Structure 1
Amino acid sequence: MTHVTKERLLEAGLAMLLENGYNHLGIQALLEATGTPKGSFYHHFRSKEDFALQVIDRYMEEVHHGLDLSLGNASLPPLERVRRFFELSQEKYRQEGYLGCLLGGVGQELSGISETFRRKIETCFAGIAVRVADCLEEARQQGDLPPDSDPRQMADLLVDCWEGAALRSRLRRDPGPLGAMLDFYFSAATK
């Protein structure tokens, strides 16, 4: 039973953190939205910070699931698999009203004031880039990228560009920046 309560809090918290940010995430509003007593919250989480860090972990489970689905799809060439991951992310953003990436939003809000969140979010981005780099290396080995390409550097750049496009998409509530960035990146990468 307590596992169900924790899951409900994390799911609701993910949506609320994405929409409102950390500073405007009210624990009381979360408790009311989930019908959870205050004591149950503190049974599962030491603090608001601990809760938000666990929400990020939950978000990363979803991200890694998307990476598994996309990058692990051996029926597609490596570059298509990488692009597919970002297209799936774009579709998720659309379903959420173009609120962007939770990591980007919380990172922009807290990285300048919280070393804990800065390190956590940078570690998450680095983990995504490593997985993308592995697939880009496969593309390089197959001749789909220039032989002197640096897949890790390319993956870092892709994640950086995506996060910028996700912010612009959130500001505009429009997918245009996401699609334009992907088109530009993949066109430039293969030259």
Structure 2
Amino acid sequence: MARASLKEQLVTRSAPVFLERGFNAASVNDIVQAAGVPKGSFYNHFVSKEELAIEVLRRYVDDLGLDELADPAGSAIQQLREHLMANITAREAAGIEFGCLLGNFSTDTVALNEGLREAVALGFARWTEAVASAIGRAQAAGEIRNATDADTLARYIVASFEGAIAQAKTLRADGPIADFLSVTFNRVLT
């Protein structure tokens, strides 16, 4: 098996550092130590920590499973449920106490780093659009009777998901996530 490139090592191994420490607290030294590469290698591949964080965030959003929400086959509401459950499972596997990279970066960096703020906004927009697409298909198929437009429902669901993850992170309990799922699928998306 071929060894990952140094750039790939930096991207892959810095993601947990950013998740656990946040953008501001994660130093380049922390990142190169986690990646097992010399500090000079960092600057051969990235101009700044912000540039690396934007790439990490882009991949994080790519890994959210948004394409699955666009699959016209099957139940759109079931796809949405499975999508949210998969993302909850991923957050739990990474350590719920560390939250979600999108949510963490949105509170950690937006006032100081315009490039990262734009990347976070794009990540939320991509996620919201995918959720809106699934909701629209579910409404058209009669799986959701709620007549609120799909874009509004999608923004509400993504914001509620992030809020539940933030509360679970703070409380170190899964009650907020259970409440989110219950209200979303038993009240909002009915």
- Indicate if the aligned counterparts of 2:28 and 2:49 stay in contact, CA closer than 8 A: yes
Q: Distance in 2 between matches of 1:73 and 1:170?
A: 34
Q: Indicate the SS of the match to 1:149.
A: coil
Q: Distance in 2 between matches of 1:179 and 1:40?
A: 43
Question: Does residue 1:51 correspond to 2:52, yes or no?
Answer: yes
Q: How does 1:75-90 map to 2 (within 5 A)?
A: 75=74, 77-90=75-88
Q: How does 1:91-170 map to 2 (within 5 A)?
A: 91-98=89-96, 99-146=98-145, 148-170=147-169
Judged with a 3 Å threshold, the aligned counterparts in structure 2 of structure 1 residues 147 and 25 are, in CA distance, closer, same or farther, namely: closer
Q: Indicate the SS of the match to 1:22.
A: helix
What amino acid does structure 2 have at the position aligned with 1:44? H
- Indicate if the aligned counterparts of 2:69 and 2:131 stay in contact, CA closer than 8 A: no
CA deviation vs aligned residue, 1:66-106 (integer Å, no higher than 9, x gap)? 2234553834x111111111100110111111021101001
- Indicate if the aligned counterparts of 1:79 and 1:139 stay in contact, CA closer than 8 A: yes
What amino acid does structure 1 have at the position aligned with 2:170? L
**Corresponding residue for residue 33 of structure 1:** 34
TM-score (normalised: structure 1): 0.90
- Indicate if the aligned counterparts of 2:129 and 2:154 stay in contact, CA closer than 8 A: yes
The alignment of Structure 1 onto Structure 2 pairs a total of residues equal to 188
- Indicate if the aligned counterparts of 1:73 and 1:81 stay in contact, CA closer than 8 A: no
Judged with a 3 Å threshold, the aligned counterparts in structure 2 of structure 1 residues 37 and 2 are, in CA distance, closer, same or farther, namely: farther
Q: Identity of aligned pairs, percent?
A: 29
Q: Distance in 1 between matches of 2:89 and 2:69?
A: 13
Could you tell me how far 1:147 is from its partner in structure 2? Answer: 6.5
Gaps of 5+ in 2: none
Could you tell me how far 1:145 is from its partner in structure 2? Answer: 1.8
Gaps of 5+ in 1: none
- Indicate if the aligned counterparts of 1:71 and 1:85 stay in contact, CA closer than 8 A: no
Q: Distance in 2 between matches of 1:190 and 1:57?
A: 28
- Indicate if the aligned counterparts of 1:94 and 1:175 stay in contact, CA closer than 8 A: no
Q: Distance in 2 between matches of 1:28 and 1:181?
A: 38
* RMSD, aligned CA: 1.9
TM-score (normalised: structure 2): 0.91
Q: Distance in 2 between matches of 1:20 and 1:148?
A: 41
- Indicate if the aligned counterparts of 1:129 and 1:155 stay in contact, CA closer than 8 A: yes
- Indicate if the aligned counterparts of 1:21 and 1:105 stay in contact, CA closer than 8 A: yes
